[in-house]
Copies of this chain bind each other. A is one copy, B any other.
Amino acid sequence: MVVVMSPDATEEQIARVTARVEETGGQAFVSRGVVRTIIGLVGDIDSFHGLNLRSMPGVQEVYRISDPYKLVSRQHHPERSTVHVGPAGAEVAIGPGTFTLLAGPCAVESAQQTLQAAEMAKAAGAKLLRGGAFKPRTSPYAFQGLGLKGLEILADVGTATGLPIVTEVVDARDLDAVAEHAHMLQVGSRNMGNFGLLQAVGDAGLPVLLERGVNATVEEWLMAAEYVAQRGNLDVVLCERGIRTFEPSTSTTLDISAVPVVQATSHLPVIVDPSHAGGRRDLVVPLSRAAIAVGADGIVVDVHPDPEQALCDGPQALHGQELRELATACRKLPPVVGRRV
């Protein structure tokens, strides 16, 4: 941590900062410049946070030097991690070296629609079935998902197709029910800052798919993962699904750079959701190709047997020719960038 004093800081103010640091067992190195003084802190960073140095008289700025996350950081775990999802003996790996396709219907609408979507997903090469039973919607008047009934459908379809289930949990009170039917718990972008849910999910003992909030920096996203990890659960897969910007031609702006940025600083696997990032069917295949090429550990894609009739996000669901193109890309591109499918 570095404390920058303002140009008119007094000697007394400087002394007060160094005294405060030393009280907590840290060391303070003072560099006196022509215009101002800089104080470098050495010691236990966590204890410095409580000091509230930024509020002390004469302090202009405090720069944090090291990353605020620990358990999810590569500094603490240099090798990139692989997360395994699914029943023992039939786990699906998400991590370096492999490329994993997750697919399914945005919302579970009926047993038949879910089964058809799952079969489409499987035929396209998907190894995990992602579908929504609880849907967080901007409007209270929009379809909110089938809830428990949807979980049962997912579980049945998963058994029928042999695909492990990934589904979203939107409320800590639903957690037991969701955990009973799912192999991986999704925390959606709207809940990335719902710390109680993150902690509850961390306690649940299942792998977690943690979407980035549309307004979250990479650092905040990793801090959310730290909330899960702190409960003893390091099986977290991060999912980039677009951030909010001024550009209106896509529903959000896919931050493709976030994939290598995360991989440089965290050991957790990171995948991309090209369906929700763009919100446009015609962009799903090109964005999927970009995600594979940039080095994502997987992608998650919406499919629907009849997008015109979809109750949720129909405009972005793949089927027919586009799904075949996606399958081709998922087969041909990963080997070119050094990954097994």
Q: Is A177 an interface residue (CB 8 A)?
A: no
What class of interface size applies to chain A in its complex with B? 35 or more
- Residue pair A141, B259 in contact (C-beta under 8 Å): no
Q: Is A311 an interface residue (CB 8 A)?
A: yes
- Residue pair B139, A68 in contact (C-beta under 8 Å): yes
Chain B residues with Cβ below 8 Å from A56 are 308
Chain B residues with Cβ below 8 Å from A195 are 136-137, 140, 170, 190
- Residue pair B215, A244 in contact (C-beta under 8 Å): yes
Interface residues of A in 31-52 (CB under 8 A from B): 31-36, 38, 40-43, 46, 49-50, 52
Which of A82-90, A114-122, A152-160, A275-283 lies on the face that meets chain B? A275-283
> C-beta contact mask, A239-251 vs B, less than 8 Å → 1, else 0?
0000111111110
Chain copies in complex = 4
In the complex, the chain B residue whose C-beta lies closest to that of A199 is B140
In the complex, the chain B residue whose C-beta lies closest to that of A246 is B244
Q: Is A15 an interface residue (CB 8 A)?
A: no
- Residue pair B52, A308 in contact (C-beta under 8 Å): yes
Interchain CA distance A50-B277 in the complex, whole Å: 22
Interchain CA distance A41-B37 in the complex, whole Å: 10
> C-beta contact mask, A217-259 vs B, less than 8 Å → 1, else 0?
1111001001100100000000000011111111001111111
Q: Is A321 an interface residue (CB 8 A)?
A: no
Q: In the assembled complex, how far is the CB of residue A167 from the closest CB belonging to chain B, in whole angstroms?
A: 16
Interchain CA distance A49-B315 in the complex, whole Å: 13
Q: Is A301 an interface residue (CB 8 A)?
A: no
Q: Is A96 an interface residue (CB 8 A)?
A: no
Interchain CA distance A220-B139 in the complex, whole Å: 8
Interchain CA distance A247-B337 in the complex, whole Å: 26
Q: Is A179 an interface residue (CB 8 A)?
A: no
- Residue pair A286, B295 in contact (C-beta under 8 Å): yes
Main secondary structure of the interface of A (DSSP, over half): mixed
Q: In the assembled complex, how far is the CB of residue A67 from the closest CB belonging to chain B, in whole angstroms?
A: 10
Q: Is A171 an interface residue (CB 8 A)?
A: yes
Q: Is A294 an interface residue (CB 8 A)?
A: yes
Q: Is A162 an interface residue (CB 8 A)?
A: no
Partner of A292, one of B256, B258, B293: B293
Q: Is A142 an interface residue (CB 8 A)?
A: yes
Partner of A336, one of B136, B142, B227, B332: B332
Q: In the assembled complex, how far is the CB of residue A216 from the closest CB belonging to chain B, in whole angstroms?
A: 8
Interchain CA distance A334-B248 in the complex, whole Å: 29
Interface residues of A in 1-18 (CB under 8 A from B): 2, 4, 7
- Residue pair A289, B283 in contact (C-beta under 8 Å): no
Q: In the assembled complex, how far is the CB of residue A195 from the closest CB belonging to chain B, in whole angstroms?
A: 5
Chain B residues with Cβ below 8 Å from A261 are 249-250, 283
Interface residues of A in 264-309 (CB under 8 A from B): 264, 277-278, 282-283, 286-287, 289-295, 307-309
Known pairs A55-B314, A140-B223, A171-B196 / 13 extra A-B pairs, C-beta < 8 Å:
A29-B31, A34-B42, A36-B65, A52-B310, A139-B223, A139-B226, A140-B226, A172-B173, A214-B215, A217-B249, A243-B247, A254-B256, A261-B283
11 contacts between A and B (CB under 8 A): A2-B2, A2-B38, A31-B31, A33-B41, A49-B141, A52-B307, A54-B314, A140-B223, A218-B247, A250-B261, A286-B295
